[in-house]
């Protein structure tokens, strides 16, 4: 009896162990299947991405790879080329008050990075003013193109932000090929998410009819645009930012408020040719001799095809047209003072596009309308496939490069 009981006990005691082993085997089998399935589904995509990254890096001199590659997320201290340093704090843990405080500090201090490395800004130096939002991938490629431009060391590079992010700040402060300064638009959607100029909860919905908006008594019910739509903060911010940054550079920044040279207006999804500064100098010399009524230069165009070899040394002169001559637009203080005197026309014009508003200023306010000297073969290219006005499946900058 005792022997039978012992055998039964051994069988019963072994049963849980067998069950546990069986469960482990099943779980391992499922895990292996899912791993292989995941690999089969994702590996072509990862392979394509790796190939794309490798292709990009192969196009860029090794010394500039630092502008393309993302930094390690656990970096806690940032050291700049001028010897200063800053503690890194992830934007994810910053609240709106902290972001506002940091922005105010940047705008107050007006630190010019690399100022002790490169020569002081001269009156005839070129200032490059870049308006940026949050598309860091495009910005990386713009910086690489700027780094390779002939004569870049003699310029001042200004980045005007409407979005605060430490990864982007770190990228910009790693620039070592010219003088650099950052300015921050203080009235952004990021810092005012629930109030004007952001989205107030009481704002009228975009497509609401005016009579219904009046009954609801939502904000700005009396003022739909010419198309019957109500204000959308994400679109109007670009125009507000454009006007603020220009005023900031020409009137407020200590380093530029008396500057009389050329200011090149770029955006984060632009890409410049190596000789864009050289061409700009030639255009500056030519307009003084041959086109004294020209008050705008344009380094880019939207032509799909052109003969670069035949047109590389040619320019055209015409009245400035907003949707043709807004890329790589360049002006000086004299032109800006004429524009700023028409502030009412710019700000009150019922359109959220800065370039269409500027077109309105030229046609309805300026004594001397805007005339442009534009490069036949562009030196500024638009590589942005996804942004405020463009939404495509493939948003990689590589597709355009």
List the one residue out of 209, 274, 266 whose CA is nearest residue 242. Answer: 266
Give the dihedral sign, CA 311/64/156/163. Answer: positive
Answer yes or no: is 8 a known binding residue.
no
What are the tens digits of pLDDT across the range 141-199?
A: 999 999 999 999 999 999 999 999 999 999 999 999 999 999 999 999 999 999 999 99
Structure confidence at residue 384 as a pLDDT band (50, 70, 90):
confident
Q: Is-contact 181 80, C-beta < 8 A?
A: no
Q: Domain containing 229: what range? A: 62-399
Answer yes or no: is 162 a known binding residue.
yes
- Shared-domain flag, residues 107 and 52: no
| pLDDT on residue 178 | 98
Beta bridge partners of 316: 374
- Shared-domain flag, residues 46 and 69: no
- Shared-domain flag, residues 45 and 192: no
Q: Cα(313)–Cα(197) distance, rounded to whole angstroms?
A: 44
Q: Is-contact 299 322, C-beta < 8 A?
A: no
Answer yes or no: is 216 a known binding residue.
no
| pLDDT on residue 398 | 52
Q: Cα(380)–Cα(298) distance, rounded to whole angstroms?
A: 9
What are the tens digits of pLDDT across the range 68-90?
A: 887 755 444 444 333 444 444 44
Angle at 102 between CA 98 and CA 106, to 5 degrees: 170
| pLDDT on residue 271 | 97
What are the residue ranges of helices labelled H in 60-181?
Answer: 65-68, 96-109, 136-147, 166-173
What are the tens digits of pLDDT across the range 278-334?
A: 999 999 999 988 999 999 999 999 887 778 889 999 999 999 999 999 999 999 999
Answer yes or no: is 111 a known binding residue.
no
Q: What CATH number has the domain bearing residue 147?
A: 3.90.550.10
- Shared-domain flag, residues 173 and 229: yes
- Shared-domain flag, residues 261 and 383: yes
Question: 311 CB contacts (<8 Å, ≥6 apart)?
Answer: 376, 377
What are the residue ranges of helices labelled H in 60-86?
Answer: 65-68
Q: What is the pTM of this model?
A: 0.81
Cβ count near 136 (within 10 Å) = 16
Q: Cα(121)–Cα(285) distance, rounded to whole angstroms?
A: 20
Answer yes or no: is 240 a known binding residue.
yes
| pLDDT on residue 24 | 55
Of 60 and 280, the structure prediction assigns the larger pLDDT to 280
pLDDT above 70 coverage of the chain, percent? 77
- Beta strands at 270-272 and 77-79: parallel, antiparallel or unpaired: unpaired
- Shared-domain flag, residues 3 and 81: no
Kindly state the tokens that stand for 163. 């979005």
What are the tens digits of pLDDT across the range 346-367?
A: 999 999 999 999 999 999 999 9
Beta bridge partners of 372: 296, 318
Answer yes or no: is 65 a known binding residue.
no
Helix, coil or strand: residue 100: helix
Question: 366 CB contacts (<8 Å, ≥6 apart)?
Answer: 338, 339, 342
Angle subtended by helix axes 136-147 and 166-173, to nearest 10: 0
Structure confidence at residue 54 as a pLDDT band (50, 70, 90):
confident
| pLDDT on residue 338 | 98
What's the structural domain count of the chain?
A: 2
Answer yes or no: is 132 a known binding residue.
yes
Q: Cα(158)–Cα(163) distance, rounded to whole angstroms?
A: 15
- Shared-domain flag, residues 229 and 96: yes
- Beta strands at 85-87 and 77-79: parallel, antiparallel or unpaired: antiparallel
Q: Cα(100)–Cα(83) distance, rounded to whole angstroms?
A: 26
- Shared-domain flag, residues 212 and 128: yes
Kindly state the tokens that stand for 247. 């005023």
Q: Is-contact 128 160, C-beta < 8 A?
A: no
| pLDDT on residue 2 | 47
Helix, coil or strand: residue 166: helix
* pLDDT > 50? residue 201: yes
Answer yes or no: is 238 a known binding residue.
yes
Answer yes or no: is 269 a known binding residue.
yes
- Shared-domain flag, residues 142 and 265: yes
- Shared-domain flag, residues 8 and 81: no
Q: Would you give the DSSP letter of residue 119?
A: P
| pLDDT on residue 57 | 77
Q: Is-contact 299 378, C-beta < 8 A?
A: yes
What are the tens digits of pLDDT across the range 39-53?
A: 444 444 445 445 556
- Shared-domain flag, residues 66 and 3: no
- Shared-domain flag, residues 285 and 328: yes
Out of 7-11, 267-271, 329-333, pick the least confident.
7-11
CB-side neighbour CA atoms (13 Å) of 355: 13
Q: Which of 11, 38, 56 is the last residue of a domain?
A: 56
Q: Is-contact 68 140, C-beta < 8 A?
A: yes
| pLDDT on residue 64 | 86
Angle subtended by helix axes 233-247 and 354-364, to nearest 10: 60
* pLDDT > 50? residue 242: yes
Q: Cα(287)–Cα(298) distance, rounded to whole angstroms?
A: 13
């Amino acid at each position: 009896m005792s022997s039978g009981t012992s055998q039964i006990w051994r069988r019963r005691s072994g049963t849980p162990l067998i069950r546990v082993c069986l469960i482990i085997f099943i779980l391992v089998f499922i895990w292996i299947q899912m791993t292989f399935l995941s690999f089969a589904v994702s590996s072509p995509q990862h392979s394509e991405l790796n190939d794309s990254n490798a292709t990009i890096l192969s196009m860029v001199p090794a010394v500039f790879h630092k502008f393309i590659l993302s930094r390690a997320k656990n970096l806690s201290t940032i050291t700049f080329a001028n010897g200063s340093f800053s503690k890194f704090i992830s934007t994810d843990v910053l609240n709106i008050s902290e972001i506002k405080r940091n922005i105010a500090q940047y705008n107050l201090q007006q630190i010019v990075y690399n100022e002790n490395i490169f020569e002081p800004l001269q009156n005839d130096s070129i200032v490059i003013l870049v308006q940026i939002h949050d598309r860091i991938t495009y910005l990386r490629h713009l910086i690489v193109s700027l780094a390779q431009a002939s004569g870049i060391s003699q310029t001042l590079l200004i980045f005007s932000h409407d979005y605060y992010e430490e990864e982007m700040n770190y990228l910009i402060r790693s620039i070592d090929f010219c003088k650099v300064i950052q300015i921050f638009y203080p009235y952004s959607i990021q810092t005012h998410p629930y109030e004007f100029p952001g989205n107030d909860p009481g704002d009228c919905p975009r497509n609401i009819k005016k009579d219904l908006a009046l009954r609801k008594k939502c904000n700005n019910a009396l003022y739909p645009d010419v198309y019957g739509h109500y204000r959308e903060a994400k679109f109007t911010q670009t125009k507000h930012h454009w006007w603020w940054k220009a005023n900031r550079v020409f009137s407020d920044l200590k380093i530029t408020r008396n500057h009389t040279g050329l200011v090149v207006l770029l955006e984060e999804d632009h890409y410049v040719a190596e000789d864009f500064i050289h061409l700009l100098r030639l255009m500056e010399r030519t307009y003084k001799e041959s086109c004294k009524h020209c008050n705008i230069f344009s380094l880019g165009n939207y032509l799909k095809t052109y003969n670069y070899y035949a047109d590389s040394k040619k320019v055209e002169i015409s009245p400035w047209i907003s949707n043709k001559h807004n890329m790589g637009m360049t002006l000086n203080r004299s032109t800006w003072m004429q524009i700023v005197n028409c502030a009412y026309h710019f700000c009150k014009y019922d359109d959220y596009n800065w370039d269409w508003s500027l077109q309105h200023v030229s046609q309805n306010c300026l004594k001397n309308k805007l005339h442009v000297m534009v490069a036949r073969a562009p030196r500024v290219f638009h590589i942005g496939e996804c942004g405020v006005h463009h939404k495509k499946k493939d948003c990689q900058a590589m597709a355009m490069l």
